[in-house]
Amino acid sequence: MWKYRYLSLVVTFAFFLSSCYQESDDTPVNILDDPSISIFTFEGHTATLAPDGIYDVEVTFSSVYNQLSDEQKARIEGIRVYRNGGVQQPIPPEATSFTDRTVFTLCYELAFLTDGNEISELSEEYCVNL
Amino acid sequence: MHASFKLLLLLFTLFFNSTIYSQNGELCLTIVPANSFVKISGNLVDLSKVGMPHCISLPVGKHKVEVWSEGFEIHEKEIEVKANDKTNLNMGLNQLSPAYEIYQDELTKYHKTRLKRNLEMGFLSVVDIGITIYAVNVYRGKKIKDSETALELAEKGYESAISVEELAERRFIYQEARTKYNDEIPKHNRRLAVATTSILAAYGLTYWAIQKQKKNKPKKPVFNSVNPLVNISAPTGALQGNTCQFGISINF
């Protein structure tokens, strides 16, 4: 009879032991893959008419750069500014504004540029109406 | 002077008669097994003191030879020793005593039991070793650790992704790794349960078997043989090989 008691004890012990490993709920976070977060948010612009008749435009924006992981920061070379679909020289990744000179309406899009010449998702288009 | 002469004459006559009429013969024994006890005409013969072949001098006439060795029945034979003649006697013991047969049966049973016990313990030891190796591998959890490592790498890869293509690819890799890891967890838990149950059961069974064997330890049978030749009569006048230096014996 004691054998059955012993066996039942063993099975109970094994049953409780089996709950040792549980699924971890750690979900990796990548802010660039979160559709509820905008990577770039245009905050506004200033357009000043210069004596030469060309507007000096300064566009201000905010980015999630400071919220990125160190690995991501290390890989980002800068922010690529798309001007009416054309590519401009990249600006520093921590920049929060850029300037431009124009006489007509311009639309801008922004994206992070990596050292491998890859780009993140484009921001919403922001147009400067003059 | 007359009485002394008579006495001398009587002694001379006695000596002369014994020399002429008490003649001896030789008996050469070949006994199997060699360490048997031999009794000749009621006297125990120590064959170890007689060189090979076991030849001893015996008075002429009929003699009863009894041979006994441990485990055998007494074997008897009557021989006749002739004067100045050599009699060869070959005696082999082949009839086992009933007590010895019982002893042999018990000894066989004892050896069989011991073999069975050793095989049982050997089998249990092999099972224990096998289960221990299996359990150690399960507890080390190579598969679950590999899955964990793959998941961690996939997580890191996903967290460091920047471009749209990269994000799509690494998200897929992470989801694959997560699925594999999640599938591996219940398998690993089952393996843990099986290994733990098995190891406890195996060691418990071994312990139980050891306790059982300790309780039922077989006793080696002992054969207590009593030498019937010694018991029959004390070998007070045990014959020795060539006891008489002059080749004669006088039996009173």
pLDDT tens digits for range B115-137 = 999 999 999 999 999 999 999 99
Tell me if A75 and B160 make a contact (CB, 8 A cut-off): yes
Shortest CA distance from B154: residue in chain A: A28
Question: Does A25 reach chain B within 8 Å, measured CB to CB?
Answer: no
Q: What is the pLDDT of residues A94-129, one digit of tens each?
A: 999 999 999 999 999 999 999 999 999 999 999 998
Residue A10 has pLDDT above 80, yes or no: no
Residues of A in contact with B159 (CB under 8 A): 28-30, 69, 71-72
What ipTM score was computed for the predicted complex, to two decimals?
Answer: 0.80
Min CA distance, B187 vs chain A (Å)? 10
Q: What is the pLDDT of residues B173-216, one digit of tens each?
A: 999 999 999 999 999 999 999 999 999 999 999 999 999 999 98
Tell me if B197 and A10 make a contact (CB, 8 A cut-off): yes
Give the model's pLDDT for residue B225: 79
Give the model's pLDDT for residue A16: 61
- Number of A–B residue contacts, CB under 8 Å: 80
Pairing of strands A97-102, A55-63: antiparallel
Give the model's pLDDT for residue A25: 64
- 3-state DSSP: chain B helix, strand, coil percent, rounded to 5? 55, 20, 25
Sheet with B37-40, side-by-side order of all strands:
B43-45, B37-40, B61-68, B75-81
**Which pair of tokens denotes residue B176?**
């694959």
DSSP B245: T
CA–CA gap between residue B223 and residue A16 (Å, rounded): 57
Tell me if B164 and A19 make a contact (CB, 8 A cut-off): no
Give the model's pLDDT for residue B6: 64
Q: What is the pLDDT of residues B218-233, one digit of tens each?
A: 999 998 878 888 754 4
Shortest CA distance from A4: residue in chain B: B201
Residues of A in contact with B164 (CB under 8 A): 119-121
Min CA distance, B111 vs chain A (Å)? 30
Question: Does A23 reach chain B within 8 Å, measured CB to CB?
Answer: yes
Instruction: Find the helix packing angle between B164-215 and B142-159, rounded to 10°.
Output: 160
What are the residues whose beta carbons fall under 8 Å from the beta carbon of B15, sequence distance 6 or more? none
Min CA distance, B199 vs chain A (Å)? 10
Sheet with B86-92, side-by-side order of all strands:
B54-59, B24-32, B86-92
Q: What is the pLDDT of residues B6-35, one digit of tens each?
A: 656 555 554 444 444 558 898 888 888 888
In this complex, the residue of A22, A28, A118 whose CB is nearest that of residue B155 is A28
